[in-house]
A and B are shown apart, each in its own frame.
Chain A
Amino acid sequence: MGWLTKDIEHAPCTVEISHKFESLHAHVRFNNGAVIYPGDEVKVHGPEIMAPFGEIVSEDRDATIVRASKLEQLWTRLTGDFEVMELCEFSFSEEVTL
Chain B
Amino acid sequence: MSARAFRVQLDLTPPPIVRKISQRSLIFGVVFAIAVAVGVLVSHNGLDEFYQGYLLGYMCWLGVALGSMAILMIRHMTGGGWGTVIRRVLGAAMRTMPLLTILFIPLAVAAAQGHMYPWAMPFESIKDEHIREHLINQRFITQSYLNVTGFIIRAIIYFAIWNVLSILLSKWSKEADSPEGRDNGHRFRMLSAPGLILYAFSITFATIDWAMSLDPTWISTIYGLILLIGELLSAMCFAVVVERILVDYRPMSELLRSDFVLDHGKWMLTFIMLWAYFSFSQWLIIWAGNLPGEISFYLRRIHNGWGYIGLALAAFHFAVPFAMLLSRPFKQNIRKLVWLAIWLMLMCYLDLFWIISASFSVSLSINWAEIVVPIAIGGFWLWAYFRNLASLPLLPAYDPQSAEVLHPSHYIHV
Q: Do A and B bind each other?
A: no
